[in-house]
């Protein structure tokens, strides 16, 4: 019968007489180097060469091993021949400036049978900068290509992919006396529209939830070739000042994919505010591309947009009749409302007789529109999901 039993033990109990490793089995699939930052992890797959009980421990004594919900300074693993189990190594030692050699050792009967060796310590640096799109007067994203010169063939993305939130890449870009933070997940920073050329110092390093780490600065010379917005895209200038510049920069980098994709990036990276609502509302009157960007924003932010045209006074309420506290704006005779897609609002309308009243509900999937005749009347319109309807009691 095949069996797999794991027991944690103290490192002192795991140590026995060590002799050179026998070529019975191996650890597989582990990284050749990980950051020497507390909390950094490596994962090794142990493949049993024969039936037996194996004691697994780190040679440094500065780590915790875990498998199948059991953790400790050492693990005792009972396996049948050909069985495998993933061992998670988590570094608990001090931060190291230079790489040191670490090993996860497997013993059977007090004899070392094999080991997995890797470096503790990496020095991440910026290797190059790329600017996807530099539009005159708009924030521009600068992407960073990072690598480890100590382990140049190491896939840095793979290393960070197994670290979770315990360890992350951190960094910043310095231009003159201004410092711009780095997006640690996507390795990019956003420069304001007035930065066209000059020296840029990019500093990168590893950070843990417990301790910081050293940043390695690298200086680059940035010379941007700016492009002009064509007339049909001039509405994008309305994003400036209404959204965080970093959100606009990431959106502009996505613009070649389409207006919807750019809007979605904007929505993911910005909060729904009155300023944002006013900019989005103005875009509803600026053509198909502008409306596609608004739809993308709604998809990325999880919001809906309701708009009421001239010809009525508007109060925005919650379904229980209390005032709605979210973003509401009146602009050029229109009233705009942003609210979460899983929520609902009630529009209390009073026609003033000046014009037919358009009510628009915009979703990522499209719009629903209704027009009420010019006149002096009162209505309540509940905005919910993908439709507009009159609740009971509305007139």
- What secondary structure does DSSP assign to 150-201, as a single string? TSTTS-HHHHHHTTTTTEEEEEEEEETTEEEE-BTTTTEEEE-TT--EEEEE
**pLDDT (tens digit, 0 to 9) for every residue of the chain, 395 residues total?**
344 456 665 433 333 333 333 344 689 999 999 999 999 999 999 999 889 999 999 999 999 999 998 999 999 999 999 899 999 999 998 887 789 999 999 999 899 999 999 999 999 999 999 999 899 999 999 999 999 999 999 999 999 999 988 898 889 999 989 999 999 888 999 999 999 889 999 999 998 865 666 788 999 999 988 999 999 899 999 999 999 999 999 999 999 999 999 999 999 999 999 999 999 999 998 999 999 999 999 999 999 999 999 999 999 999 999 999 999 999 899 999 999 998 999 999 999 999 999 999 998 888 889 999 999 999 999 998 655 554 443 44
CA distance 320 to 318: 5
Interhelix angle 245-254/259-269, rounded to 10 degrees, is 150
How does DSSP assign 269-287, residue by residue? HS---HHHHHHHHHHTTS-
CA distance 329 to 305: 11
Distance of CA 352 to the CA centre of its chain: 47
User: Quick check: helix, strand or coil at residue 36?
Assistant: coil
Interhelix angle 259-269/288-301, rounded to 10 degrees, is 40
Find the radius of gyration of the CA atoms of the chain. 30
Instruction: Tell me what pLDDT residue 26 has.
Output: 87
CA distance 288 to 265: 18
Instruction: Tell me what pLDDT residue 40 has.
Output: 94
pTM over 0.85: no
Q: Which residue has the tokens 């790329």?
A: 130
């Amino acid at each position: 019968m095949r069996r797999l039993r794991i027991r944690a033990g103290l490192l002192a109990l795991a140590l026995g007489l060590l002799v050179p490793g026998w070529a019975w089995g191996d650890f597989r699939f582990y990284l050749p180097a990980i950051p020497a930052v507390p909390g950094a992890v490596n994962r090794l797959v142990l493949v049993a060469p024969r039936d037996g009980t194996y004691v697994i421990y780190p040679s440094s004594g500065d780590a915790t091993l875990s498998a199948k919900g059991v953790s400790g300074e050492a693990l005792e693993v009972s396996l049948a021949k050909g069985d495998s189990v993933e061992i998670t190594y988590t570094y608990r030692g001090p931060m190291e400036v230079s790489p040191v050699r670490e090993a996860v050792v497997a013993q059977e009967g007090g004899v070392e049978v094999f080991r997995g060796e890797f470096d503790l310590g990496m020095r991440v640096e910026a290797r190059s900068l790329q600017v996807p799109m530099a539009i005159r007067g708009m924030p521009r994203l600068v992407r960073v290509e990072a690598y480890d010169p100590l382990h140049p063939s190491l896939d840095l993305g793979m290393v960070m992919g197994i670290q979770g939130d315990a360890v992350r890449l951190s960094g910043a870009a310095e231009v003159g006396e201004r410092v711009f933070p780095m997006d640690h997940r996507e390795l990019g920073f956003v420069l304001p529209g007035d930065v066209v050329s000059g020296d840029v110092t990019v500093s990168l390093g590893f950070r843990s939830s417990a301790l910081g780490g050293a940043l390695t600065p690298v200086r680059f010379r940035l010379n941007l070739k700016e492009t002009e917005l064509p007339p049909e895209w001039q509405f994008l200038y309305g994003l400036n000042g209404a959204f965080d510049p970093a959100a606009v920069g990431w959106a502009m980098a996505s613009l070649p994919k389409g207006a919807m994709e750019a809007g979605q990036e904007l929505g993911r990276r910005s909060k729904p505010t009155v300023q944002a609502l006013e900019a989005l509302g103005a875009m509803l009157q600026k053509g198909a591309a502008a409306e596609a960007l608004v739809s993308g924003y709604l998809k990325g932010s999880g919001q809906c947009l309701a708009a009421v045209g001239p010809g009525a006074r508007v109060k925005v309420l919650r379904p229980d009749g209390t005032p709605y506290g979210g973003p509401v704006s009146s602009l050029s005779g229109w009233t705009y409302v942003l609210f979460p897609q899983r929520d609902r609002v009630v529009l209390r309308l009073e026609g003033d007789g000046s014009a037919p009243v358009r009510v628009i509900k915009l979703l990522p999937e499209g719009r629903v529109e209704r027009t009420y005749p010019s006149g002096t009347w009162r209505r309540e319109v509940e905005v919910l999901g993908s439709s507009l309807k009159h609740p009971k009691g509305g007139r």
